[in-house]
Amino acid sequence: MKKLLCWFACLMMLIIMPASALAANTPIYVGNLTENYDTYWQAVGVDYMADEILASLKLDGLSDTQKIRKVYDWIIQNCSREFTNSNKVYLNYGKMESEIASYANKLRQAYQNGQAAVYNSGPQLVNGQEVWDSYFDNAGYISSFGEYIALYREGNCAHFASLFAILTNHLGYETHIIPGEFINSNGSKVEHKWNYVLIDGKYYNFDIRMDHANYTRTGRLNHTYFMIGDEDAWAKKHEWNKDYTKAIREAYNRGERPFYFVSDSNDYSSWFNYGGGKRITDKSGLVVINIKNNVTYVPLRFIADFFGADINVQGQQVLLNYQGTNLTLDLSSKAATKNGTPLNMDTPPYVENGATYVPLRFVAEGFGAEILYENDMIIIGDGENNLGIRLNGISNGNIVIKLS
User: Average pLDDT, whole number, for the chain?
Assistant: 76
pLDDT recorded at residue 231: 94
Number of domains in the chain: 2
> 153 and 39 in one domain?
yes
Q: How far apart are CA 349 and CA 346, in angstroms?
A: 10
Residue type, 171: L
> 261 and 276 in one domain?
no
Answer with the one of 269, 284, 306 that is the final residue of a domain: 269
pLDDT recorded at residue 160: 97
Burial (CB < 10 A; 0-12, 13-18, 19+), residue 12, is buried
- What average pLDDT score do residues 330-339 get? 88
pLDDT recorded at residue 58: 93
> 100 and 210 in one domain?
yes
> 276 and 195 in one domain?
no
- 121 near 12, Cβ under 8 Å? yes
DSSP code for 81: S
Q: Is the pLDDT of residue 37 over 60?
A: no
**How does pLDDT run across 10-35, given as a tens digit for each residue?**
333 223 333 334 556 789 988 765 44
Q: How far apart are CA 5 and CA 3, in angstroms?
A: 5
- Bigger pLDDT: 101 vs 172: 172
> 291 and 150 in one domain?
no
> 129 and 17 in one domain?
yes
**How does pLDDT run across 355-385, given as a tens digit for each residue?**
778 887 788 788 877 666 554 445 555 555 4
> 166 and 118 in one domain?
yes
Q: Is the pLDDT of residue 190 over 90?
A: yes
Q: Is the pLDDT of residue 54 over 80?
A: yes
- 189 near 182, Cβ under 8 Å? yes
Range scoring the smallest mean pLDDT among 66-75, 226-235, 317-326: 317-326
pLDDT recorded at residue 394: 28
Q: Is the pLDDT of residue 254 over 80?
A: no
pLDDT recorded at residue 40: 62
Q: How far is CA 170 from CA 87, 232, 264, 294, in A?
A: 27, 29, 21, 43
> 295 and 231 in one domain?
no
Residue type, 144: S
pLDDT recorded at residue 87: 67
pLDDT recorded at residue 396: 29
> 155 and 62 in one domain?
yes
- Give the domain range for residue 121: 2-269
pLDDT recorded at residue 305: 66
Q: How confident is the model at residue 244 (pLDDT cuts 50, 70, 90)?
A: very high
Among 292, 293, 204, smallest CA distance to 252 is for 204
Among 332, 357, 356, 329, smallest CA distance to 343 is for 329
Q: How far apart are CA 395 and CA 376, in angstroms?
A: 13
Q: How confident is the model at residue 104 (pLDDT cuts 50, 70, 90)?
A: confident
Q: How far apart are CA 14 and CA 121, in angstroms?
A: 6
What residues contact 362, with CB distance under 8 A and at least 6 apart? Answer: 336, 345, 346
> 301 and 219 in one domain?
no
Q: How confident is the model at residue 85 (pLDDT cuts 50, 70, 90)?
A: low
pLDDT recorded at residue 130: 73
CA-based R_g, the chain, Å? 22
Answer with the one of 247, 269, 291 that is the final residue of a domain: 269
> 315 and 247 in one domain?
no
**How does pLDDT run across 69-82, given as a tens digit for each residue?**
999 999 999 999 87
Answer with the one of 269, 286, 319 that is the final residue of a domain: 269
- Bigger pLDDT: 150 vs 332: 150
Instruction: Give pTM, 2 decimals.
Output: 0.63
CATH number of the domain to which 287 belongs: 3.30.457.10
**How does pLDDT run across 105-143, given as a tens digit for each residue?**
888 778 777 788 888 778 877 777 777 888 889 888 898
> 193 and 247 in one domain?
yes
